[in-house]
Structures are given as C-alpha cells and as structure tokens.
Structure 1
Amino acid sequence: MSAARVPPIDSSPLKCHYPDCDQQLAPESAFVPGFKYISKLLGRKVFSSDLREHTYCREHSRAAKEAGIAVYPFQMALENLLQREQQEKEARRFFQLRYALEEAGVSAKSQNDIQHDAENSEEEEMEELGE
C-alpha cells in the first residue's frame, strides 16, 4: 500500500496529522497512506474532503505508516462498504419477497390495514357465533 497524493476538492488548507507537526500542506504535497487502495476498494475516486484527518506531509507519511499511528482510511471505507452492501442485500430481499407475494396474489398491506382486517374478521366470527 503506497501513499498517493490527495486530489484537491476542498479549498481549506490541509495539515499534517503527525504528532507535533501540524504543518500546513498544499494539496499536491499531502499524502495519505493507503490512498490508492481505498480508491480501488470503493470503486470510485476519493477526494481530500473524504480523508482530511488522514493526511501527512511527505516526511511523516512513511513514518506514520511504519509507526502504526496512521489510521488507514480504507478500514473505515471497508466498514462503510460492507454496511452499504448489507443494506442493498436487505433491500433486494424485501423486493424479492414483495414480488413473490404479488405473484401469489397477496398484496403488501400496511400494518394498519392488517390490524383493521384482523379486527373485522374477529367481529365477523363473533357475529357468526352469535347467530
């Protein structure tokens, strides 16, 4: 995982997050350990605004990575990616079930409709038993 330059999007200055550095960085001199990997993992271009807390100057980029103090943004992105995939999977499952119900002739009803139908059927049963 190599450090790569951060493409500029946000106009506010970037700074090195290495302890006791706080050097202000131009976008072309800001480095993020694992930057190429996170772009590949997400399948999209990643912008400096996404990774502002993970920027380092050239001198500290490698040191932060080797010291293990760099919080790799791809770990965070991987969690977000997995969460998004899970949500998409649940949404697909919902629509598959809904489609299967519609194919079977059952329409999807709201909870209020179901309760109302249950109350009506109970009243009808009571009337039938009363007769």
Structure 2
Amino acid sequence: MRSDKENELYLIKSGHSNNLMLDATDSDQVKIQPFSGSNVQLWKCVRASRAGYFYIINHNTGKALDYHYRPNQQNKYLLKTAPLCTSTNSTQEFVINKNGRITNVYTGENIDIVDAQYRPGISVQLWADNGNQAQQFTLQKRT
C-alpha cells in the first residue's frame, strides 16, 4: 500500500464476494457482513513505525485489528478489535499485499474467512497462506 493512501477510509471487501465486508458490529469480534453503509465497516490504515507496516483501525470504534489467541482450537487466531498498541512487535501490525492478502506481521498469517464460508456473520481469522479466495480482500476507498 502506498503511503499516500494512509489515513483514508476504506471498505475491506472479500475477494470472493464484493458484497461482503469486514465488519466490527459484534462487540470486538470481526465478521463478514453485507454492505450496510455503516461506520462499523469503515477502516483506516495508519502507518506503523516500521516501513510497510500498518495498523488497521475501525472508524466507528477507533480500535485496531488484532487477534484473540485460543490455544488448542481449530480457529485459534480469531480477529477482533482492541485498543491500539504501538509497541514493537505488536500483534496489530499488518502488511497490505498487492496480491490481495493482508498479512499479520507477528504471526505471518493472512486474514481469512473461517472455512471459506462466504455468508453473513462468519468470523474472520488469521490462517497460513493457502492461496484460497477466503484470503483475498480489496480495499475500496470511501469518500
């Protein structure tokens, strides 16, 4: 992502379905939902201290994308939002890749729609790169 796109508002759309967006309606857990026009679906990319890394901040809550570690569970890295933490090696730093993948710097895993279930209300997680469309997203600028 170019630095001139920093701090602008975006919808983060599923690469599989243009109508499904990252959504922070459900408390702190991030899910995919149909486009609603609500601020819970708007995200801002804020440059982290290291080049090429970004914090992805929800416009409605002001909280950053993060993950909830759940050991011994199949979906052990569910995405959530949490207060911004700008410490080095933060779990909130992401790389926005040209191939549509959004990679968490700390885990090296991509944002992924759980079990590639492209329907409203499905959770979003971090998962190892598998080439699946469930890991492809488009940032669409909102004015």
TM-score by length of 2: 0.25
Higher helix share: 1
Greater RCO, CA 8 A, separation 6+: 2
Q: TM-score, normalised by structure 1?
A: 0.27
More strand by share: 2
